[in-house]
Structure 1
Amino acid sequence: MADRAALQTQLERGIAALGLAALGLNLPDGAVQRLLDYQALLERWNGTYNLTAVRDPAEMVTRHLLDSLAILPYVQGQTLADLGTGPGLPGIVLAIAAPGREILLVDSNGKKVRFLREAIRALKLDGVRAVQSRVEDVQGQFDCITARAFATLADMLGWGGHLLAPEGVWLAMKGKRPDDELPGIPAGFALRGTHVLNVPGLDAERHLAVLGRA
């Protein structure tokens, strides 16, 4: 296991660099420790279940925790669905950083859902549920939907557009700016904006496409 104090320093510096406090988005007491508990749990399970290609703990802090926290200013509403969540990215990170909303974690991979349920139990994440399902089979409507490296905009909205509440917001996390995907946005949906995400320590492009109902 990596030195926890070093990881805590890295995470705290990264959170400060994101400027969340300046936006009035102060993380709750104990959030940094719980985020590191989640990272440690993911690291342990990853050795057996291969939940993520990222193996280095410091890289997990950057590529998973800080990358997920970068979208926090755009999250809204009281209900959230994280589609194709994998090991809980960004859903579990958001549940720790901004508790109080109902969160549904959706993935079709059984071993990842088993990990999610253990993480929910171990981290005592109230209001968070994990379901093993294809996106198109999920029911309900949500104020906010997140999807990280999940599919093209056309596919994710085609499969899961029914889950977005009338005034809801869809947050699609992308690497490069998805200009080539914009013509494929289905009828009934519209792009509200595209934002550059500056993830501390990450030497790669990150963009957030924000969509809603037209």
Structure 2
Amino acid sequence: MSNREALRQRLRAGLTTLKLELDDPTIEQQLDYVDLLLRWNAAYNLTAVRDAGEMVTRHLLDSLAILAYVTGNSLADLGSGAGLPGIPLALANPDLHVHLVDSNGKKARFLREAVRHLRLADRVRVDECRVEAVVGEFDCITARAFATLADMLAWGGHLLAAEGRWLALKGRFPQDELDNLPPGFKIEAVHRIDVPGLDAERHLVIIKRSFAEPSARILP
């Protein structure tokens, strides 16, 4: 079995567990992204994950595990780094317009090459800047291991549309952060995310704007 076929089987098995269906061309694009990330990672140190199989689990499946929670047509991926979760989500949803935001020049160069290589230029944009400098309003915002919830919202809360959803990816249940949510925002839900093949805690915190009621305390 070729390495590519092994990766393909690993991705397909994970998608089945997540109850997701991607067509064959999209699966190949996801694997093309892993290939590109492997090539650039040696020089640019984009991720601590060096093994292609682990990238399928820790990057592709970890990102796609939140696909069902993405709403609307526009998404900003803040602190995108190597394009996670923004690029896997953009590949999986052809109707989604994505802004990948990162202030690191090397990472932004990789993101621009990934957008070109994966033929996403018509609906994926790279913003090489700090989150505070981004202009616009988005139906959905993602942030993966970016900062505390309070800092995320202080820097990028202005980007969330009135009925938009902020999808914050966390490891352990972030009770302290939930207790210190800034005014103007509320917790809609916290979901435990089970990523196939990943032996680690994952939680998705969904945040919305609050126009009157205070944020609720969420218990694990």
Identify the TM-score tier after normalising by the shorter chain.
over 0.9
| Equivalent residue number for residue 215 of structure 2 | none
Offset, 1:177: 1.0
1:1-214 matches, within 5 Å, as 3-20=3-20, 26-125=21-120, 126-214=122-210
Offset, 1:103: 0.7
Deviates more, 1:26-35 or 1:73-82: 26-35
Runs of 4+ in structure 1 deviating by more than 2 angstroms, as ranges, are 26-29
Offset, 1:11: 0.4
Offset, 1:207: 0.5
| Equivalent residue number for residue 23 of structure 1 | none
Conserved 8 A contact 1:51-1:86 = yes
Q: Distance between the aligned counterparts of 2:162 and 2:59, measured in 1?
A: 30
Indicate the RMSD between aligned Cα atoms, in angstroms.
0.9
Identity %: 63
1:141-175: per-residue Cα shift (whole Å, max 9, x none)? 00000000000000000100000000000000000
Amino acid at match of 1:166: A
Q: Distance between the aligned counterparts of 1:198 and 1:9, measured in 2?
A: 19
Conserved 8 A contact 1:83-1:145 = yes
Offset, 1:204: 0.2
Amino acid at match of 1:160: G
Task: Structure 1: state its 5+ residue gaps.
Answer: 21-25
Amino acid at match of 1:4: R
Amino acid at match of 2:133: D
Offset, 1:29: 4.3
Alignment: residue pair count: 208
Conserved 8 A contact 1:28-1:98 = no
| Equivalent residue number for residue 217 of structure 2 | none
- Report the TM-score when normalising by structure 2: 0.93
Conserved 8 A contact 1:107-1:133 = yes
